[in-house]
Structure 1
């Protein structure tokens, strides 16, 4: 059995995946009820390995179509949607093997660094504000989830099922806890493992079902990285608005039952037809209540993990080590007003440059006297502009770039 290639960002039904306007399932009231009956009546058949699709390139690609097992499937917001393999519907052994294969594919955690400002322009008697993006840098952290950077190593990945006291989709249209459980109160009943959940899913009578595998990143100190990166950007005298987020690609796999309704609900033209003709007013309630969802399994990929004494062990390197390795490259990309993906190889090439680029708006001629004179002139122009707009000295007149005006 060969290893699958990489497929393609909390369970929440994606609005595009259900073909209809978004409904916030997380706000649905709690319910209780037994999931479909468990059965051991399963026959193992020779397994056909799924041909996994490559992931979407970045969070900017929110809706694509690819081929899996020779059939077109959708990739919506980083979630791979599989429909058309009927063996997943009825063969629990086949389903379990497929889930384990998908779990061996790591999610793709990213850092999206954005800087922006607004410019006010006058058009006749009116003022308009334009939103300007100064830089937009996307960094990929996937390789730091593999032990010693080994792309075939999955020893740190932990495949878990939800706890009985945890609210999740357990074969219904709303989240619920296991029967007899309230919050963290335990009653001594062991939680179902992956094998049992696969049997329950395949034994369920509903024709419309979705089984989701979540891929999560654990042990990453996002607050530390955000503070370090923001401080680095401010050190360039940047005065604009900074946004640092942590999107995740390859964050989940949805397996839909192979029914005609599920195939049609994922087609773009069908979604548009239902929206334009307002047929969604009738179809959406039916799909919402008829679709039984299972979001009970997650593959946890740690950036770090702590032992019983609270000591952290890192898969590759720590957040501080990562920041020190790439801080010069990130700083220079900010000064370059770079917009796009920045791989480790790209960052290494940027770091290899002999010096930092000039601060945006500055002129570097190589002659110190000329550069000083130009800098003084630019400062004077900023002061004059600030006074013209009614500004205050010591505010926007300070040296810097990317500020609102």
Structure 2
């Protein structure tokens, strides 16, 4: 996790003053103290307080939301497991899952408690053209790459809805192609109240196929990614970025596949063997072969709802944690600051501490802007220099804002 640091604002320099007369200063201080004592002769000094009285930079509501927010805990690792490069698909070939239906069912139920890891990524880049004699080359420069974890917006552990393949729905039911047969209800003669998940696990373990797999799928629905993308693009446009911006919503732990023991399944999930097949284009022959010999069970899925209804004109739409607009307002400042700082976080994400640091920095800047004007230095030359410096900084800021940054060159 990338942790941000609060922007340290040093105190403004003390105004220039000619060397004072120390005797005069001491006499004036004594006079002031005597006047205060005469005005309030019987009053005691204010009591000492351990807690300083000041206005917090972050509202209590914001801190309470941060305290309640539970960041994503990825599903527990399984024995004999591996995953793809993007961590979207996880695989295990632990032999006991293919020989013990009780153990398989228990593992599926435990894994179903965990939502998929959900992110939003913003990536900005531009192209630089270089001339080397008569040769022109274009290099792609990464300006920033920002990721924010959205998993907590799907609810806590166990908030997903487990769904099993319906009898009237086509799917892989231990078959090589999608089919309506067999069904677990056929075996129970239509009895209700039975554990269908356990029945599918029993059927998978009892399957005599030499190559088989059982899949758990995690899905996210009802998230208005289009609206959120528009809001994020508008935020990046406000910092006058002129490069190429891409916004995506990648997901990790989207599926878990249990492979039966055996050399074929061992080879198909071994990383270096997969790369050999990719590079030599042998996958063109191996993929149809694996497709035809594998008995697939894709009957279990877990649905995680961002909201109770799809995005649209439904004013009664209720989100699980917060709306897309509310999340954007909480994170837009942190995202802007990370982009301006040209942060490249490909293996980490902006965390809550970075967001709070950005919020504190905004509050400090706002307080600095609302401060009263500095008193005169009683020196015309110094006052003029400070005024010219401030005007120059404003002109430079306006110049940068008008031209922007990150454009192709």
TM-score (norm 1): 0.65
Match of 1:159 in 2: 162
Aligned residue for 2:144, secondary structure, equals strand
Match of 1:178 in 2: 180
Rounded Cα–Cα distance in structure 1 between residues aligned with 2:318 and 2:400: 50
1:172 Cα offset (Å): 2.8
Unmatched 5+ stretches in structure 1: 9-51, 54-67, 148-152, 181-187, 357-364, 380-397
Rounded Cα–Cα distance in structure 1 between residues aligned with 2:98 and 2:388: 69
Match of 2:354 in 1: 346
Flag the 1:366–1:293 CA change in 2: closer, same or farther, 3 A.
Answer: farther
Match of 2:330 in 1: 325
1:268 equivalent to 2:277? Answer no
Aligned residue for 2:128, secondary structure, equals strand
Aligned residue for 1:201, secondary structure, equals helix
Q: How many residue pairs end up in the alignment?
A: 301
1:212 equivalent to 2:215? Answer yes
Flag the 1:273–1:7 CA change in 2: closer, same or farther, 3 A.
Answer: same
1:272 Cα offset (Å): 4.9
Aligned residue for 1:202, secondary structure, equals helix
Match of 1:294 in 2: 297
Match of 2:316 in 1: 311
Match of 1:230 in 2: 233
Rounded Cα–Cα distance in structure 2 between residues aligned with 1:366 and 1:207: 82
Match of 2:94 in 1: 84
Unmatched 5+ stretches in structure 2: 1-71, 183-189, 367-386
TM-score (norm 2): 0.65
More helix by share: 2
1:104 equivalent to 2:107? Answer no
1:228 Cα offset (Å): 0.6
Aligned residue for 1:211, secondary structure, equals strand
Rounded Cα–Cα distance in structure 1 between residues aligned with 2:221 and 2:327: 16
More strand by share: 1
Equivalent residues of 2:162, 2:300 under 8 A apart: yes
Flag the 1:253–1:276 CA change in 2: closer, same or farther, 3 A.
Answer: closer
1:203 Cα offset (Å): 2.4
Equivalent residues of 1:84, 1:263 under 8 A apart: no
Rounded Cα–Cα distance in structure 2 between residues aligned with 1:323 and 1:167: 39
Larger radius of gyration: 2
Rounded Cα–Cα distance in structure 2 between residues aligned with 1:237 and 1:249: 32
Match of 1:202 in 2: 205
Rounded Cα–Cα distance in structure 1 between residues aligned with 2:388 and 2:81: 56
Q: 2:125 aligns with which of 103, 108, 116?
A: 116
Q: 1:368 aligns with which of 385, 390, 393?
A: 390
Match of 2:405 in 1: 401
Aligned residue for 2:392, secondary structure, equals helix
